[in-house]
């Protein structure tokens, strides 16, 4: 094309340049078409191989053959390097193999590609939770709750929130767990199927009010659901609503006579109702009877605790309480109680003091002792 300088001819030169470039362009176009055809063939084959290995990986993963699944997904990634689903499958297989650090590396890479992916966020949250990294666990769980999910997003979100609640409870973070439960209750709505579980977790975070609501929702549809009845009784008990608790617990035992927890709780409830003189709408006789009963229970508790304490050569205070109890005992009669309201208060205050002290020194007592402690908590502030 370019000849020695002496033989240069301008127009001819220009002409040849244009012809050459035209020919090169034509050749490039032809080659481009040829390589495009090859490329389609290549990518179709690679895609088919990737799909085949990914399907095999998914099948192995579902069957719990994690090692094989990891190998399958790795092969799939060889043919489709950017396949998000294969990479995610590999990460899940690695988690199954308990190769958590390796899985985490893949998951972080996936998270960077799609920070809004629910599965990735939940997996990262589980890994962080397993490592005790609460900050990241909460971050990823919250991401997962508000993330994008395929299939049934609502179900996935609810299940993720459940996981978060369980994780929070495992870390004794009851207040955040209660908040999450309240949010979950709003998502669940009136679905009776989930109310028992909801109520049970509300009880765990000591939110009797929401627990009772949940169990009642369940009972609307299934009035004889023993678990819901027992839960509602427990919730009412926690709230201090012993009359209500007694009803639910009694029904629960009727439905499931072998429910010992409910039976124990019912016994305590009955004792509370029997020994609480401050209940409203009770007669004077009932009140006097409750005071006398409480005073006797406390006395019994004092004696048994003192005997145990003497055997260990400790406890001076019970002796003082015993003197006080002996001193007040003659005044705790129907007549005195009816004449002097102060004796009611003195008797009950002494009974509460005895129970607290005995609880500290001698551990748990009878249901009646537990009932007195509950009554003290219920009324002492007022």
Question: Based on CB atoms, which residue is closest to another protein, 105 or 345?
Answer: 105
Question: Based on CB atoms, which residue is closest to another protein, 20 or 323?
Answer: 20
Question: Based on CB atoms, which residue is closest to another protein, 111 or 352?
Answer: 111
Question: Based on CB atoms, which residue is closest to another protein, 78 or 155?
Answer: 78
Closest CB 147 distance from another protein, rounded Å: 20
- Using CA atoms, how far apart are residues 178 and 378, in angstroms rounded to an integer? 23
Closest CB 216 distance from another protein, rounded Å: 50
Question: Based on CB atoms, which residue is closest to another protein, 31 or 264?
Answer: 31
Question: Based on CB atoms, which residue is closest to another protein, 14 or 146?
Answer: 14
Closest CB 244 distance from another protein, rounded Å: 56
Alpha helices in the chain (DSSP H): 10-62, 66-79, 84-96, 100-113, 118-130, 134-145, 153-170, 174-188, 195-204, 208-221, 226-239, 242-255, 260-275, 284-311, 317-328, 334-339, 341-362, 367-379
- Using CA atoms, how far apart are residues 283 and 286, in angstroms rounded to an integer? 5
- Contacts to another protein by CB under 8 A: 1-3, 5, 8, 10, 13-14, 17, 20-21, 24-25, 27-28, 31-32, 35-36, 38-39, 42, 45-46, 49, 53, 71, 74-75, 77-79, 81-82, 101-102, 105-106, 108-109, 112
Would you give the DSSP letter of residue 4? P
Q: Is 288 exposed, middle or buried (0-12, 13-18, 19+ CB in 10 A)?
A: buried
Closest CB 114 distance from another protein, rounded Å: 13
Count of other CB atoms within 10 angstroms of residue 132: 8
Closest CB 135 distance from another protein, rounded Å: 16
Of 191, 105, 117, 102, the residue nearest 150 (C-alpha): 117
Give the pair of three-digit tokens for residue 354: 């005895």
């Amino acid at each position: 094309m370019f000849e020695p300088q002496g033989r240069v001819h301008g127009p001819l030169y220009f002409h040849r340049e244009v012809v050459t470039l035209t020919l090169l362009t034509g050749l490039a176009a032809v080659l481009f078409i040829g390589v495009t055809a090859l490329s389609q063939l290549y990518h179709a084959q690679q895609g088919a191989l990737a799909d085949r290995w990914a399907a095999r990986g998914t099948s192995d993963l579902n069957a719990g053959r994690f090692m094989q699944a990891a190998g399958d997904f790795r092969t799939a990634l060889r043919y489709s390097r950017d396949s998000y689903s294969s990479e995610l499958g590999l990460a899940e297989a690695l988690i199954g193999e308990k190769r958590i650090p390796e899985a985490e590396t893949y998951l972080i890479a996936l998270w960077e590609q799609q920070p809004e992916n629910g599965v990735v966020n939940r997996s990262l949250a589980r890994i962080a939770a397993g490592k005790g990294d609460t900050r990241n666990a909460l971050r990823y769980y919250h991401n997962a709750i508000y993330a994008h999910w395929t299939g049934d997003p609502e179900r996935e979100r609810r299940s993720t929130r459940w996981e978060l609640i369980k994780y929070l409870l495992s870390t004794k973070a009851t207040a955040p767990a209660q908040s999450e439960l309240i949010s979950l209750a709003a998502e669940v709505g009136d679905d009776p199927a989930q109310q028992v579980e909801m109520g049970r977790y509300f009880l765990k975070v000591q939110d009797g009010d929401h627990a009772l609501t949940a169990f009642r929702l369940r009972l609307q549809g299934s009035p004889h659901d023993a678990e819901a009845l027992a839960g509602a009784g427990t919730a009412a008990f926690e709230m201090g609503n012993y009359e209500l608790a007694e009803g639910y617990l009694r029904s629960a035992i009727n439905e499931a006579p072998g429910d010992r927890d409910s039976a124990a709780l019912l016994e305590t409830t009955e004792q509370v109702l029997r020994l609480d003189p401050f209940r409203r709408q009770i007669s004077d006789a009932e009140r006097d009877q409750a005071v006398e009963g409480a005073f006797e229970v406390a006395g019994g508790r004092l004696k048994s605790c003192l005997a145990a304490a003497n055997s260990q050569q400790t406890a001076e205070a019970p002796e003082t309480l015993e003197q006080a109890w002996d001193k007040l005992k003659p005044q705790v009669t129907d007549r005195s109680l009816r004449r002097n309201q102060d004796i009611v208060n003195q008797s009950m205050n002494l009974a509460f003091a005895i129970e607290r002290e005995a609880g500290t020194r001698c551990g748990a007592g009878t249901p009646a002792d537990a009932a007195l402690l509950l009554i003290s908590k219920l009324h002492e502030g007022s």
